[in-house]
Amino acid sequence: MKKQQKTKPNFSKSHQLYVKRLKKDKFVINFFRVFVLVAFLGIWELLTYYKVLDPFFVSSPSRIFAQIGTMAQNGTLLTHSWVTLYETLIGFGIATAVGYVIAVLLWWNEKVRKVFEPYIVVLNSLPKIALGPVIILWVGAGTSAIVLMCVLICIVITIMSMLSAFLAVEEGKILLMKSMHASKLQILFKLVLPSSMPEFVSVLKINVGMSWVGSIMGEYLTSKAGRGYLIVYGGQIFKIDLVMASTMILCILAFGMYYFVSLLEKKYNPGAKS
Amino acid sequence: MKNLLTFKNVNYFYQTKNDEIFALNNVNFDVEENSFVSLVGPSGYGKTTILSLTAGLLTPSSGKITLDGEDKIDIKKIGYMFQKDFLFEWRTVWKNITLGLEIQKPKDKEEKLAMAEELLKKYDLYGFKDQKPRSLSGGMRQRVALIRTLTMEPKLLLLDEPFSALDYQTRLSVCDDVYEIIKSEQKTAILVTHDISEAISMSDKIIILTSRPATVRETLSLNLEGTSPLKKRETPTFASLFDHIWRQLSNEETAKNKT
Ligand SMILES: Nc1ncnc2c1ncn2[C@@H]1O[C@H](COP(=O)(O)OP(=O)(O)OP(=O)(O)O)[C@@H](O)[C@H]1O
Ligand SMILES: [Mg+2]
């Protein structure tokens, strides 16, 4: 589509107007996006400045930024953020990869799938946090427990979503492959996996959110460092600025990760409305 | 002439959880080598079932199907063009067309690639070679599916209503083209269609089916003069044949409604 536009520079008047309107709409939307954020922070700051709200309980933007500044100076900004980011990325990676492979195996063998289906459903409805103490017993307190928590939270939904995407491939397309004498492996690699790419990207998106839940929950359970640790710690010593600053950093990190995934979406699912 | 395909007393039941659907009842027919055979009959009469059996995608519940002298169907001898185009949206037009070659890796792959390119040019699709199917119209998609089938150079072509998404004009000319390709390449084809005049203009033989459980009601051997389907439509016997088949099918409908 883009190519055509380049080779055809002379558009009609109405098209120019249309493009102009699109641009204007986009500007207005972006303006209000920033406006909402600024207004929110501004009102928050004012309310705490005039002591309508007690900054001891709700903190304030200026205190949060000051807190972030201190952390940046003494180096804890990066170290603690890195700990949590690391746990999240590892958990996210393992859960996505292993879950995907399990889904492929379940697609491959119908009987195995039927056997495991009820277990997966039960696992999915189980609140994974309930396994916390067991996890610590098994792998010990520390990073591996946190990563495992993260994996447990993401993996079941990965298996379920990918499996249903694999099974949703049109029967007729499978017949077409069969009529071309394709082996099951060829059907998998040339039809089933590529046609489930859009679902894979949406699984990635879901897992971004879930893996942060996993790592923060893990840190609540057992940790000596990380953003989740600081949030719990800050809460215990009533240092709400630390809690808020850490939450804000989490927001930024999670959004960054989500952004990378949505770049993939443009590549594999260009038809999707973002 | 030698028979490429024979159906002998073929029965087929679709098995579902709650039911057993008796789709084909004692179907008998044969297809000579290098001939063009049409299967006609309204929707749900078992035309697709016959093609799926021929392609070896279904196995007869009883009876025998012989392809090229063998009881075991060699799927590589068959090119199946389905009722839907089933193009893969994530592949370009070219990659869709060469899918079969990618899967089977035939020895003469280069020649077949060259042929695919020729066919693309012939059907005015060469400019869309590197586009995704999304940007094609329904008729263009169907032509791509047709080329995908022809590229495999199968001995027996199975065409399940290949022209249904084309407008009338294109349909006539694509019919002509397909007919010409099949005749010049000395191929054998079975065409499924609802369109009686299409069947008459293209076929050497027409097989009329009865309603479910389908059996062969009548086999008509045609010998129309004329070199192309379009010309055949102008022959005097065309109209009387049309009338005959139409009566057969509508008798079938009324018989079905009575029971
Ligand atoms: N997978 C299936 N399971 C159960 N019954 C089926 C299945 N496929 C087809 N049938 C039944 O078999 C009969 C013949 O179906 P078939 O698809 O061969 O018809 P058709 O002549 O190709 O119809 P159309 O012109 O609409 O494509 C139909 O009545 C249908 O209900
Ligand atoms: Mg059909």
Chain B CB within 8 Å of residue A271 CB: yes
Q: Treating both helix axes as pointing N-terminal to C-terminal, what angle do A143-167 and A197-221 enclose, rounded to 10 degrees? A: 160
Our answer on whether the CB atom of B44 is closer than 6 Å to any ligand 1 atom is yes
Tell me whether residue A58 is in a domain. no
Distance of CA B129 to the CA centre of its chain: 25
Query: In the predicted model, is pLDDT for residue A269 greater than 60?
Result: yes
Q: What is the pLDDT of residue A273?
A: 43
ipTM at complex level = 0.87
Strand ranges, E, within chain B: 3-15, 20-32, 36-40, 62-67, 78-81, 156-160, 188-193, 205-209, 216-221
Instruction: State whether A39 and A86 are in the same domain.
Output: no
To the nearest whole Å, the CA of A190 is away from the closest chain B CA by: 9
Is residue A11 a part of any domain in this protein?
no
Question: Same domain for A144 and A27?
Answer: no
Give domain status of residue A67, yes or no.
no
- Residue of B119, B66, B116, B71 whose CA lies nearest to B95: B116
Most confident region among A46-55, A96-105, B18-27 by mean pLDDT = A96-105
Q: Which residues of A touch B86 (CB under 8 A)?
A: 170, 172-173, 176
* Same-domain pairing of A188 and A253: yes
* In a domain? residue A31: yes
CA angle B164, B168, B174 (to 5 degrees): 70
Alpha helices in A75-142 (DSSP H): 76-108, 110-125, 132-139
Let me know how long chain B is: 259
Residue B258 amino acid letter:
K
A68 falls within a domain? no
Tell me, yes or no, whether A124 and A43 share the same domain.
no
| pLDDT value of residue A271 | 52
Confidence of residue B128 (pLDDT cuts 50, 70, 90): very high
Measured distance CA(B150)–CA(B116) in Å, rounded? 8
For B141, half-sphere exposure in the C-beta direction (CA atoms, 13 angstrom radius) is 18
Please tell me whether residues A104 and A210 are part of one structural domain: yes
CB-based contact, B152 to chain A, within 8 Å:
yes
**Quick check: A182 and A253 in contact, CB under 8 A?**
no
C-beta of residue A179 within 8 angstroms of C-beta of residue B78: yes
Same domain (yes/no): A31, A157: no
B109 touches chain A (CB under 8 A): no
Residue A88 lies in a domain: yes
Query: What contacts B27, CB < 8 A, 6 or more positions away?
Result: B7, B9, B10, B11, B46, B50, B63, B214, B215, B216
- Which ligand places an atom closest to the C-alpha of B42? 1
Instruction: Give the pLDDT band (50/70/90) at residue A33.
Output: very high
A contact test, residue of B85, B97, B99, B141 with most A CBs within 10 A: B99
CATH assignment, B3-258: 3.40.50.300
Residues A22, A150 share a domain: no
Does A97 lie in the same domain as A22? no
Residue type, B242: F
Distance from the alpha carbon of residue B43 to the mean position of ligand 1, in angstroms:
8
Residues A83 and A149 in one domain: yes
Q: Does the beta carbon of B169 sit less than 6 angstroms from any atom of ligand 1?
A: no
- Which ligand 1 atom minimizes the distance to the CA of B42? 25
d(CA B233, CA B242): 10
Q: Lowest mean pLDDT: which of A26-35, A88-97, A124-133? A: A124-133
Do A99 and A225 reside in the same domain of the chain?
yes
- CATH (domain of A217): 1.10.3720.10
**8 Å CB contact between A243 and A234:** yes
- Asked whether residue A123 is domain-assigned, the answer is yes
Q: Is the CB of B47 under 6 A from ligand 1?
A: yes
Is A227 found in the same domain as A121? yes
Domain of A236?
Answer: 76-268
Question: Mean pLDDT in chain A?
Answer: 89
Q: How many A from CA of B204 to the centre of ligand 2?
A: 21
Please tell me the total count of domains within chain A.
Answer: 2
Residues 6 or more apart from A226 whose CB is under 8 A from it? A80, A83, A84, A87, A146, A215, A219
